[in-house]
């Protein structure tokens, strides 16, 4: 049963399912079966948020999430994490709901649950951001992959305030996430790049044109986000993915790196949909097993010389795809 305060929070904070559709957002997308499959992803996030913000206990949320099909379950966990983060940060819950979820049933979806924290950040005042990341010591890839929360913040801003963050290319104020305020902006751009894949309904040429419209120093991180979204979320046939790879030009290593991280995340969650297999092959030239092995071999757990471990991990993966004479961006 929902709680009174949970229901009020849901009414105040939750977009309707219709509000996250591409048509309602005003995205330049022609409706197709593929775009409707992409639209189901933010709708799954909304469902997870509604269940999380209303729930009396974690068991109820976990049970609801277990009923979501495996392909979309991680996205529903994103939404539930977003809800628990809001409740914890605002002091309306037990204070450790997010930690309990991420160290418990959310662990297989840890890559996506970090993104859910970023969605919560987009709805919380910055002074509360210091409360959003729980201590996940002992959890896989913590704190290295916590930068995906910043990615999630960038995705949310681009998806819901597209004119400001995509068309006008605004840059948010830096924030000292993991002690690296300058890198904060790069992680935001990865999230904006992921959003571009949705905003253009997986149409490679349109996505590429919009990436190229950004300042040159932002394009590498945007392309990394595009590759991640195209591989994890799907929405494109092999021939469209081939166009995407060609359009990326000098940024093919960034697209491939994003694809590798997506394959790793899908494999870690225990369900790899066919579109991820295809995209990993087209964008990275690897099987999912090969991509996972590459991600594991390149994994970095500690920062060095002021560079976040997350960026060192990205560089290690990108280096595998750099052709002779093509430098690794960043």
Is 161 domain-assigned?
Answer: yes
Percentage of the chain modeled with pLDDT above 90: 85
**179-197 pLDDT per residue, tens:** 999 999 999 999 999 999 9
**226-258 pLDDT per residue, tens:** 999 999 999 999 999 999 999 999 999 999 999
Give the separation between CA 254 and CA 259, rounded to whole angstroms: 9
Is 30 domain-assigned?
Answer: yes
**To which residue do tokens 């419209």 refer?**
213
Give the separation between CA 117 and CA 110, rounded to whole angstroms: 11
3-class SS string, 70-99: HHHHHHHHHHHHHHHHHHHHCCCCCCCHHH
**83-93 pLDDT per residue, tens:** 999 999 988 55
In order, the DSSP letters of 238-300 are HHHHHHHHHHHGGGHHHHHHHHHHHHHHHHHHT---HHHHHHHHHHHSS-HHHHHHHHHHH--
Cα 54 to the center of its chain, rounded Å: 24
Domain of 99, in residue numbers: 4-244
The SS3 assignment for 8 reads helix
Is 327 domain-assigned?
Answer: no
| DSSP classification of residue 165 | I
Cβ distance 92 to 5 under 8 Å? yes
Is 39 domain-assigned?
Answer: yes
Six token digits for residue 329: 């961006």
Is 149 domain-assigned?
Answer: yes
Domain count, the chain: 1
Total-model pTM: 0.93
pLDDT for res 227:
98
Q: Check whether 324 has a pLDDT greater than 50.
A: no
Residue 307 sits at φ, ψ, to 5 deg, of -95, 125
Q: Check whether 38 has a pLDDT greater than 50.
A: yes
Helices (H) and strands (E) counted in the chain, each on its own, are: 17, 0
Is 148 domain-assigned?
Answer: yes
Is 308 domain-assigned?
Answer: no
The SS3 assignment for 129 reads helix
Least confident of 4-8, 44-48, 209-213: 4-8
Is 282 domain-assigned?
Answer: no
Give the separation between CA 233 and CA 106, rounded to whole angstroms: 19
């Amino acid at each position: 049963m929902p709680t009174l305060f949970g229901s009020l929070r849901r009414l105040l904070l939750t977009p309707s399912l219709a509000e996250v559709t591409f048509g309602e957002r005003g995205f330049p997308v022609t409706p197709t079966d593929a775009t409707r499959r992409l639209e189901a992803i933010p709708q799954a996030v909304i469902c997870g948020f509604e269940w999380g913000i209303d729930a009396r206990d974690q068991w109820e949320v976990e049970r609801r999430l277990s009923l979501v099909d495996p392909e979309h379950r991680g996205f529903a966990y994103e939404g539930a994490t977003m809800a628990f983060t809001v409740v914890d940060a605002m002091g309306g819950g037990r204070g450790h709901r997010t930690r309990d979820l991420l160290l418990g049933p959310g662990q297989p979806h840890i890559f996506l649950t970090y993104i859910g924290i970023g969605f919560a950040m987009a709805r919380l005042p910055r002074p509360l951001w210091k409360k959003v990341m729980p201590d996940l010591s002992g959890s896989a890839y913590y704190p290295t992959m916590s930068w995906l929360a910043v990615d999630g913040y960038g995705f949310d801003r681009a998806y819901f305030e597209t004119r400001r963050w995509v068309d006008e290319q605004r840059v948010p104020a830096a924030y000292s996430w993991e002690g690296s305020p300058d890198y904060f902006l790069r992680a935001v751009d990865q999230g904006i790049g992921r959003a571009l894949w949705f905003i253009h309904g997986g149409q490679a040429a349109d996505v590429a044109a919009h990436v190229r419209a950004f300042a040159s120093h932002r394009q590498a991180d945007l392309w990394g986000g595009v590759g991640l979204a195209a591989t994890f979320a799907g929405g494109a046939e092999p021939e469209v993915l081939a166009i995407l790879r060609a359009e990326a030009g000098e940024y093919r290593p960034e697209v491939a790196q994003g694809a590798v991280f997506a394959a790793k995340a899908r494999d870690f969650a225990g369900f790899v949909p066919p579109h991820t297999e295809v995209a990993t092959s087209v964008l990275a030239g690897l099987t999912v097993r090969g991509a996972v092995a590459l991600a594991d071999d390149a994994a970095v757990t500690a920062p060095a010389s002021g560079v976040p471990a997350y960026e060192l991990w990205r560089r290690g993966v990108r280096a595998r795809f750099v052709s002779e004479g093509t430098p690794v961006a960043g």
